[in-house]
Amino acid sequence: MYNFEFEKPETVADAVAALGAEDAQALGGGQTLIPTLKQRLASPAVLVSLKGISEMQGICTANDGALCIGGATNHATVATEGGAYPALAATAAHIGDPAVRNRGTIGGSLANNDPSACYPAAALGSGATIVTNTREIAADDYFQGMFTTALEEGEIITEVRFPVPEKANYQKFLQPASRFALVGVFVAKYADGVRVAITGASNDGVFRWSEAEAALSANFAPEALDGLSLSGDDMISDLHGTGAYRAHLCAVMTKRAVAAAS
């Protein structure tokens, strides 16, 4: 780890100001950033912790019924207090291990946009709104490829708003070593249609499977997916599975998510 300055502001405004410094880097729960620093793969001059900002903590329900989660809320809190959206709480309950869940934050996960992370699938699959210090971004516009998002330099995720669906479920097939998602599928049924978001599989990061969404919007049942498949050509191929295997798992896990949705 290289030396850096450490700031822990108590307001979003102070955090934004601190992030204006040269080579400043926001720090959420640090579950990706700290190991990266330890390996000397990043050398920020200033780390700005977002953990001390009370207005970014906690969970509430908006007037329209959406579940609103503060950007600095950790996964364990979502797992235990996000019961208004059971599938989301269940997703959070299975991210990493207890240490990760008690440190990692939703804002940190979405800002990092790891191609195998769980929260991007939940946010995209729910059509969530990513609220920052400057604007509101629809999930469909937010995710722009692996480790790439619509966030501008110094922009902070202050809140994430999840419309609560009629039914939803997340199915994660574990990569045996890291236990990240080898393939993770988030299915959510709303009054105006079904959303299917897949993480872990694509070289372009989290994506929506539109054919499956159309079929499930017409008939929300596993059989509706019969005959549908994805191509493995643009999918991640590594030590743990080929693109073809991941494409196959996408269909299997989508069916299981539909069957398990509640």
Partner 1 sequence: MPKDGGIGASSKRREDVRFLTGVGNYTDDINMHGQAHVFFLRSDVAHGTLTTVDTSAAADMPGVVQIFTGADFEAVGGMPCGWQVTDKHGEVMQEPRHPVLAHGKVRHVGEPIAAVVAETLEQARDAAEAIVVDIAELPAVMDMKAAVAEGAPKVHDDLTSNLCYDWGFVEENKDAVNKAFEEAAHVTTLELVNNRLVANPMEPRVAVGDYSRGTDEHTLFTTSQNPHVIRLLMGAFVLGIPEHKLRVVSPDVGGGFGTKIFHYQEEAFCTFAAKACNRPVKWTSSRTEAFMSDAHGRDHVTKIELALDADNNFTALRTDTYANMGAYLSTFAPSVPTWLHGTLMAGNYKTPLIYVNVKAVFTNTVPVDAYRGAGRPEATFQLERVVDKAARELGVDPIALRRQNFITEFPYATPVAVEYDTGDYHATMDKLEEMIDLPGFAARRKASEAKGKLRGLGVNCYIEACGIAPSNLVGQLGARAGLYESATVRVNATGGLVVMTGSHSHGQGHETSFAQVVAEMIGIDESMIEIVHGDTSKVPMGMGTYGSRSIAVGGSAMVRATEKIINKAKKIASHLLEASESDIELKDGAFSVAGTDKSVAWGDVTLAAYVPHNYPLEDIEPGLEETAFYDPSNFTYPSGAYACEVEVDPETGKVTIESFAAADDFGNIINPMIVTGQVHGGIAQGIGQALLENCAYDENGQLLSASYMDYAMPRADDLPMFDVDHSCQTPCTHNPLGVKGCGEAGAIGSPPAVVNAVVDALRSAGKEVTHIDMPLSPDRVWAAMQ
Using CB under 8 A as the criterion, which residues of the chain lie in contact with partner 1 when the complex forms? Answer: 1, 39-40, 173, 176-178, 180, 182, 238-242, 245, 248-249, 252
Minimum distance from residue 184 beta carbon to partner 1 (Å):
13
Nearer to partner 1, 139 or 182 (CB): 182
Q: Which of 156, 175, 158, 82 is nearest to 126 (CA)?
A: 82
Minimum distance from residue 52 beta carbon to partner 1 (Å):
27
Nearer to partner 1, 191 or 239 (CB): 239
Q: Which of 105, 97, 119, 112 is nearest to 186 (CA)?
A: 119
Minimum distance from residue 46 beta carbon to partner 1 (Å):
19
Token pair of 15, please?
């955090």
Enter the DSSP assignment of 76: H
Nearer to partner 1, 1 or 138 (CB): 1
Minimum distance from residue 55 beta carbon to partner 1 (Å):
34
Nearer to partner 1, 36 or 217 (CB): 36
Minimum distance from residue 156 beta carbon to partner 1 (Å):
27
Nearer to partner 1, 86 or 222 (CB): 222
Nearer to partner 1, 167 or 248 (CB): 248
Token pair of 115, please?
């191609």
**Pairing between strand 167-174 and 157-162?**
unpaired
3-state secondary structure of 105: strand
Q: Which of 146, 139, 156 is nearest to 208 (CA)?
A: 139
DSSP of 195-217, one letter per residue? EEEEESSBTT-SEE-HHHHHHHH
3-state secondary structure of 184: strand
Nearer to partner 1, 133 or 237 (CB): 237
3-state secondary structure of 158: strand
Residues near 225 by Cβ (< 8 Å), separated by ≥ 6? 212, 215, 216, 251, 254, 255, 258
Minimum distance from residue 236 beta carbon to partner 1 (Å):
12
Minimum distance from residue 30 beta carbon to partner 1 (Å):
16
DSSP of 29-55, one letter per residue? S-TTHHHHHHTT----SEEEE-TT-GG
